[in-house]
Chain A
Amino acid sequence: MLARIGLEPGDEEFYAGQLSGILEHIDRLQQLDTEDIPPTAQVVEIASRLREDEPRPSLTQEEALANAPAAVNGSFRVPSIQEET
């Protein structure tokens, strides 16, 4: 599975149109001749930005969990991903 997008009934056509548009655009890009163009991983002209190994204060547990839909005993609570055995 590559993505999981929740859709309300009736929305399918709306999103199908958008996704098709994106795919068509990708197809258009595929037609460009990129033969002599080197692969570009970055467009900014900076390199080798490293950070010294200095610990800095973290968030508190309360802050870390503040936006979580659900939390239990200091942990994020999520639906099970465990397979039934």
Chain B
Amino acid sequence: MSSPSGDARHLPAQRGGVWEVVIGMEVHVQPRTRSKMFCGCAIGELGDAPNTHVCEVCLGLPGVLPVPNKAAVEACLKTALALGCEIPRHTKFDRKNYMYPDLPKGYQISQYDLPMSINGHLDVGGRKVRIRRVHLEEDTGKLIHAGDKLHKAWESYVDLNRAGVPLMEIVSEPDLRSADEARDYAIELRTLLRTIGASEAEMEKGQMRAEPNISIRREGSSELGVKTELKNINSFRALHRAILFEVERQKQLLEAGDTVVQETRGWSEAEQRTFSQRSKEFAEDYRYFPEPDIPPLELDRAWIEDLRRGLPELPAVRRARLVADHSLPHRDVAVIGADRELADLFDGAVAAGAPAKQVANWIVAEVAPSGKLPSAQNLAELVKLVSDGSITRDQAREVLVESVETGRTPAEIAAEHGHKQVSDESELRVLAEAVIDANPKAAADFRGGKKQAMQALMADLRKRAPQANPKVANELLLKLLG
């Protein structure tokens, strides 16, 4: 087909009017466990030697018994609870049968008609996205294809280190309406998973995989269009781009009078397009049946309530509290509310007596971008040193870096470097006069009405005297130039 970015097929919308995009998300998340879903093999790292984290169970050898991992079940239940799902009393595993070399048993152990949880929701930017189900299953192995196209001599190499790694599948209803919303949903889900400790959810490490189901329809229509499912998406950015591409592809097909084929399509990061992944080897009939080797799970209510009580403050509640208790602006809430460690740091520093808005400023401007966290006590002390005028902001930035590296207190470090802030007017006046003498052009520009020239003068002043109180120095420069 022609490229969607080409202009040849782009026809104006027909009488049906505007297109509406409809997206449901299937997200696979690797729960935080040390061992696999049904056996004791360790969870390997990317780049480990192939087939070094495998055993009789995950290789699918005859006569073995899979036993579910309690930590994986708990992570799945916590995720379900955090998403407001209903947890049924009975749940079971099923076999999903298909033939593919990445699946050593010839089936994947998954959950079919009695999943671990159903009917939840996740609020994303004010929109309530319904969650259909969260269930547990196992990952497949990894295939590497190699060969010689000319001689049609292709073969595949199978590494089963990933086979049997636990996965939670989180399925949403088709409630998302744009690439932006789908990306925001995935990001919010990651924040939630990290907050409750269910998963690290690093997309780049394959711990979280998002598969959007996409269709389009004329706005106002209540019927769903034919959907395609996208796979091979490895980042939030790729998710966004893949959806934009696919929506445009479907629009062009439909506007040209063609039809969308229901199929799985892969995203090519290199080519920035989706391509059909239909395979003649692949059966759509999975012949699900109950896994006879795993007894059903009776989900004890006391256990569920324990897990519910053990959940930390969820991101949505945290954000509301940051606004209600500390009147933080949206920008600060977006950063601090999205990361449990930053939120805990904020709460800790405020509890240690530092003013909330200034703590938030330091976290958003300095701590979050560096990714290195000081202790709450040390951050509180630093903020207080700045706010009571003991040291300048520039000095405080250096102190913060050193404090994070060494764990020593900001007061100690500031004292050692002789950091202090000079606010004494007579001392600063001498300095300001020297700066004006040394920068005649900037001074003349400022007097001539170019207000930006003050920046150059202040920069020189701070270079000469980092300890100068910038506010007092600025006032003195204004006075001298006035």
Please tell me if B325 contacts chain A, counting CB pairs below 8 Å: no
| Interface bits B145-160 vs A (CB < 8 Å: 1, else 0) | 1010000101111111
Q: Are B35 and A55 in contact (CB under 8 A)?
A: yes
B478 in the interface, Cβ–Cβ < 8 Å?
A: no
Tally of chain B residues near chain A (CB < 8 A): 56
Residue-wise, chain B 277-293 has the 8 Å CB interface mask toward A (1 for contact) of 01111110101001010
Contact present for B281 and A1 (CB under 8 Å)? yes
Q: In the bound complex, do residue A1 and residue B283 qualify as a contact, i.e. CB atoms below 8 Å apart?
A: yes
Asked if A59 lies at the interface with its beta carbon under 8 angstroms from chain B, I say: yes
Segment at the A interface, from B47-55, B208-216, B221-229, B387-395 = B47-55
Point out the residues of chain A lying under 8 angstroms from B298, CB to CB.
47-48
Residues of B within 8 A of A47 (CB): 295-298
Is the Cβ of B99 less than 8 Å from the Cβ of A4? Answer: yes
Alpha-carbon distance between A44 and B73 when the two chains are bound, in angstroms: 21
Complex: A81 Cα to B140 Cα, angstroms: 15
User: How many inter-chain residue pairs (CB < 8 Å) link A and B?
Assistant: 138
One of B63-71, B188-196, B463-471 contacting the partner: B63-71
Query: A residues within 8 A CB of B292?
Result: 42
B-chain residues with CB within 8 Å of residue A58 when the two chains form the complex: 41-42, 52-55
Main secondary structure of the interface of A (DSSP, over half): loop
The answer to whether B51 and A76 have CB atoms under 8 Å apart is: yes
Once the chains bind, are B35 and A56 in contact (CB under 8 Å)? Answer: yes
A79 touches B156 (CB 8 A): yes
CA distance A31 to B281 in the complex (A): 34
- Which of B40, B281, B285 is in CB contact (< 8 Å) with A51? B40
Q: Which residues of A contact B69 (CB under 8 A)?
A: 50-51, 53
Asked if B397 is at the interface of the complex by the 8 Å CB criterion, the answer is no
**Does residue B92 face the partner (Cβ distance < 8 Å to A)?**
yes
Q: Chain B: interface secondary structure?
A: loop
Taking CB as reference atom, which chain A residue is nearest B292?
Answer: A42
B59 within 8 A of A: yes
When chains A and B are docked, how far (Å) is the Cα of A5 from the Cα of B480?
A: 95
Chain A nearest CB, measured from B49 CB (Å): 6
Give the distance in Å from the alpha carbon of A76 to the alpha carbon of B142 in the complex.
Answer: 11
Q: Does A61 contact B (CB under 8 A)?
A: yes
For A84, what are the chain B residues with a Cβ–Cβ distance below 8 Å?
152
A2 touches B285 (CB 8 A): yes
> Does B143 sit within 8 A of A, measured CB to CB?
yes
User: Is B157's CB under 8 angstroms from A73's CB?
Assistant: yes
Asked whether any CB of chain A lies closer than 8 Å to the CB of B144, the reply is yes
Q: Measured between alpha carbons, how far is A83 from B100 in the docked complex, in Å? A: 13
Min CB distance B280 to A, Å, is 7
B4 in the interface, Cβ–Cβ < 8 Å?
A: no
Q: Is B92 in contact with A81, judged by CB distance below 8 angstroms? A: no
10 CB contacts below 8 A, A to B, read A1-B283, A42-B92, A44-B295, A50-B73, A51-B70, A58-B55, A61-B49, A75-B159, A79-B156, A80-B156
A contact set with B: CB distance below 8 Å: 1-4, 41-42, 44, 46-61, 64-65, 72-84
